[in-house]
Amino acid sequence: MNALATSPAGSSAEVLEKSLAGVPAGVPVAQAKDLKQVYNISRGFLRAPDHLQAVGGVSFTLHSGKTLAVVGESGCGKSTLARMVSLIEVPTAGTLFLNGQDASQPTPPERQALRRSVQLVFQNPYGSLNPRKRIGEILQAPLEINTTLPAPEREAQARAMLALVGLRPEHYDRYPHMFSGGQRQRIAIARALMLKPALVVADEPVSALDVSIQAQVLNLLADLQQQFGLAYLFISHDLGVVRHIAHDVLVMYLGHAVEQGEKKSIFSKPLHPYTQALLASTPGLVGSTSALPQQQRIVLKGELPSPLHPPSGCVFSTRCQYVTERCRVERPLPRALAGRQVACHEAERFIHP
């Protein structure tokens, strides 16, 4: 067991760096293939339920030290994907591997072991911390539940982690209401790292914070990733934030991945009309002039279709200005094009505009 030493040998960061779990070289931290999640929606007595496809077949590979950002409008399936990857929900279909182990349909003991390698940082730092517990108790709780470490070692690890996220020793005995939103999110990040995960699923981790504080939290996440080789699945609707932290981007629409690839290629030349619309409507980060200086502004028309009754062809066909008859009847599958995966029949027209 990699317990944190209680002796003062080295700084807290040095000791934690030795104890944080890693993944064997070359093995993806997370690998999903055609993940699907379908919910049965009751329609009342003696009526067959409706089927809501929240995620309709998403694939990705995520390695240590990398951040995959999942972006899209509200209701596109981002958080459902996060719940499947963090083992809160079992996928309806598809495969999921975590640290090389099959996590699609794990047994209870396997699920318990795998959950230690995947931890969550939630959106709202005001609601994710128990207001009746001191910060030290909150940080020790994962160790108390999942390990047999004695109390002195649990406290030593909690204090070391508190220092690692930039908080002072006297904060250890305070309650959550005594902290600002940014400080609370630092505490939530510290709690997520207590079990030495290889993967952190961050679901809108800065959207509830002031813009001035967002950059501080994002920089902390980047520093921790660089120091410990953490992998992040970063859920966000804010492409300005995504441009700051992501290595790769997965764009979702109505439960489907419409474009996926390296951040640079997607931000510089998006090939799916939905990605183009998202980027064109997103202002740049503070200090920059534009997220896409040469991107023509595109205004999406129409309402987002109901996931209970999605379009028969391309899921974006009802709002796309480039729609053809083929788009209305044939659903495009993701295909390799210009260094990324894109699900669009007309994508070639955007390679050399």
In angstroms, the CA 11 to CA 273 distance is: 50
Please tell me whether residue 52 adopts helix, strand or coil conformation: strand
- The pLDDT of residue 298: 67
Strand partners, 336: 341
Q: In terms of DSSP bridges, do strands 199-203 and 118-121 run parallel, antiparallel, or are they unpaired?
A: parallel
Tell me the sheet residues that pair with 256. 253
State how far the Cα of 332 lies from the Cα of 324, in Å rounded to an integer: 12
Position 3 scores a pLDDT of 38
Higher pLDDT, 274 or 299: 274
Mean of the pLDDT values across residues 167-183? 95
**Element at 337 (helix H, strand E):** strand 335-337
Instruction: Using pLDDT thresholds of 50, 70 and 90, give the confidence band for residue 123.
Output: confident
pLDDT of residue 106: 85
Q: How many CB atoms lie within 10 A of CB 285?
A: 17
Span 187-213, average pLDDT? 93
> 327-350 pLDDT, tens per residue?
999 999 999 999 999 999 999 988
Residue 33 to residue 95: CA distance in whole angstroms: 5
Task: Name the band, by pLDDT with cuts 50, 70 and 90, for residue 159.
Answer: very high
Strands 231-236 and 30-41: unpaired
Q: What is the mean pLDDT of residues 294-317?
A: 79
With tokens 């999406």, the residue in question is 300
pLDDT at residue 31 tops 90: yes
Structure confidence at residue 302 (pLDDT): 75
Helices (H), 134-262: 135-146, 151-164, 181-193, 211-228, 239-245
Distances from the Cα of 168 to the Cαs of 161, 163, 243, in angstroms? 11, 6, 30
**Measuring CA to CA, which residue among 305, 235, 164 is closest to residue 249?**
235
Q: What is the mean pLDDT of residues 278-292?
A: 54
* Confidence (pLDDT) at 17: 52
- pLDDT tens figures, 203-217: 999 988 888 899 999
Model confidence at 24, pLDDT cuts 50, 70, 90, reads low
Burial 2-35 (b: 16+ CB within 10 A, else e): ebbeeeeeeebeebbeebbeebeeeebbbbbeeb
Position 351 confidence tier, pLDDT thresholds 50, 70, 90: confident
> What is the arithmetic mean of pLDDT over 152-176?
95
Tokens representing residue 53 in the block: 């496809």
Q: pLDDT higher for 11 or 183?
A: 183
